[in-house]
Structure 1
Amino acid sequence: MSYLEEFKEKNIDMGFNAAMGIEVLELEDDYSKVRIPIKDWEQNPINAVHGGIIFALGDVVGALATWKMGKMVTTQSCHISFLNAAINATDLIGEGRPLHLGKRTYVVDVEIRDTKGTLISKMTNEYHAMNREIV
């Protein structure tokens, strides 16, 4: 099993990420891209995806963008701007790109889009690099 396969098995295919239905589409040294299917219960009364689902997706894709550093991370802070409602969305796509990978702090730029390419939200996430290896 490769490092990446082991990483995915231990960090994506279980717990919260599995419950969300996270599917990793791309995972490069400086980029992460994931997809989640939207379930009926994740939408509000106007059929827009609940902001908490969008936020959770952004947090996960941001953390994944730091995987090459080899450290477990915990979220320190996130700033999110909801730019468009994801009404009747069937899937959301999240992309993360590291802006800063320091010794103890990582900062990641995150964009969430619907399958039509509409920018739903923009995030800047800050993570604390823990003293624990990912794999």
Structure 2
Amino acid sequence: MADPHDNAAQVLAEQVTQAMWSRDRASQGMGMEIREVRPGYARIAMKVRGDMVNGHHICHGGFIFTLADSTFAFACNSYNRNTVASACHIDFLAPGKEGETLEAEAVERSLAGRTGVYDITVRGENGQTIALFRGKSYRIAGEVIAGLQQADQAA
């Protein structure tokens, strides 16, 4: 886990975020907005659109899961080491409503070797907890920013 007062680590987390965001068409397409990223931490918001509600007229759980998963991805990749999910679990506690902006906050709980554990809380506009998500990460070969540079060179 990084020192929260390490400016170089913060700059790197922001650069990694920009590199990942430039390629993340799924999160962009869902209208997500990155609000904050630090080493091992991220906050992302998403407004629940009409095309995101299910037959009960509440936000489809898959969209809530995707918001939490994207937030998890930005937190665990903030060190510029390619990191993917190895497992995750979500508990839905309350519905998200059409027109409501949901915000997910990812917090690193453990980082050792190639694995990490992150807790993501999804909240509604009134601060109510909508869902709790736990993600387990696994570091693979490569770097996020190097991957962007390689893709640019191939194009």
> How high is the TM-score relative to the length of structure 2?
0.78
Q: Which residue of 2 aligns with 1:81?
A: 91
Could you say if the C-alpha distance between residues 5 and 79 of structure 1 is closer, same or farther in structure 2, counting changes exceeding 3 Å?
Answer: closer
Q: Give the distance between the partners of 1:118 and 1:13, measured in 2 at CA.
A: 31
Q: Give the distance between the partners of 1:85 and 1:58, measured in 2 at CA.
A: 14
Equivalent residue letter for 1:121: A
Q: Which residue of 2 aligns with 1:72?
A: 82
Larger radius of gyration: 2
Q: Is the 8 A contact 2:13 2:38 kept in 1?
A: no
> How high is the TM-score relative to the length of structure 1?
0.89
How far apart are residue 62 of structure 1 and its match? 1.1
Q: Which residue of 1 aligns with 2:20?
A: 11
How far apart are residue 91 of structure 1 and its match? 1.3
Could you say if the C-alpha distance between residues 96 and 116 of structure 1 is closer, same or farther in structure 2, counting changes exceeding 3 Å?
Answer: same
Q: CA RMSD in A?
A: 1.7
Consecutive unaligned residues in structure 1, runs of 5 or more? none
Which structure shows the bigger proportion of residues in helix conformation? 2
- How many correspondences in the alignment? 134
Q: Give the distance between the partners of 1:111 and 1:89, measured in 2 at CA.
A: 19
Q: Is the 8 A contact 2:72 2:106 kept in 1?
A: yes
**SS of residue paired to 2:28:** helix
The answer to whether structure 1 residue 54 and structure 2 residue 47 are counterparts is: no
Equivalent residue letter for 1:20: M
Could you say if the C-alpha distance between residues 131 and 122 of structure 1 is closer, same or farther in structure 2, counting changes exceeding 3 Å?
Answer: same
Q: Give the distance between the partners of 1:24 and 1:75, measured in 2 at CA.
A: 19
Q: Percent identity?
A: 24
How far apart are residue 22 of structure 1 and its match? 1.9
**SS of residue paired to 1:69:** coil
Could you say if the C-alpha distance between residues 34 and 68 of structure 1 is closer, same or farther in structure 2, counting changes exceeding 3 Å?
Answer: same
How far apart are residue 123 of structure 1 and its match? 1.0
Q: Which residue of 2 aligns with 1:116?
A: 126
Consecutive unaligned residues in structure 2, runs of 5 or more? 1-10, 146-155
The answer to whether structure 1 residue 44 and structure 2 residue 54 are counterparts is: yes
Q: Is the 8 A contact 2:41 2:106 kept in 1?
A: yes
